[in-house]
Structure 1
Amino acid sequence: MDTDKQPPQTRRKASFLASMKAVFWSFFGVRKRRDYEDDAANLSPFHVIIAAFLGLAIFIGVLVLLVRVAVAQ
């Protein structure tokens, strides 16, 4: 019997809020390697895609708002 084998680790899926946080920091290009590896192991790809589209919509909305304020003055 091999005693060097470790029991399989249970992978806990991260919440949608964790996906939003990861996408937010990715927009800025600032992630620690350890955080990136944790995200890759725990985040759901579906949550990341939805969070990215939501983050993109918020980003475009803020840009449109800034342009409207700048043009109105």
Structure 2
Amino acid sequence: MNIGRTIKAVAWSFIGIRKGSESQQDMGNLNPFAIIAVALVGVALFVGGLIALVGWVAK
């Protein structure tokens, strides 16, 4: 399992820019549970960043 490749695949998916061939290749090579774990961490960081930004702006 390559965690760097998993993070890259999830990051590109968040942005929405991904070639179909690369996406299909990743689906065959990456562990689905690792993708879910990395995605959950990414969402938590994104939401935490938004909460921090709103708190800073509202101060």
Q: CA deviation at 1:55?
A: 0.5
CA distance in 1, matches of 2:24, 2:42: 21
Q: Which structure: greater helix fraction?
A: 2
State the partner residue of 1:19: 6
Q: CA RMSD in A?
A: 1.0
CA distance in 2, matches of 1:61, 1:17: 22
Larger relative contact order (Cα-Cα within 8 Å, sequence gap ≥ 6): 2
From the CA coordinates, give the structure whose radius of gyration is larger.
1
The alignment of Structure 1 onto Structure 2 pairs a total of residues equal to 59
Can you give the 5+ residue segments of structure 1 that lack an aligned partner in the other structure?
1-13
TM-score, normalized by length of structure 2?
Answer: 0.89
TM-score normalised by L of structure 1: 0.74
Summarize the alignment of residues 1-73 of structure 1 with structure 2, pairs less than 5 Å apart. 14-72=1-59
**How big is each residue's C-alpha offset from its partner over 1:18-61, in whole Å with a ceiling of 9 and x where there is no partner?**
11111111111111112101111111001101001110111111
Q: Percent identity?
A: 39
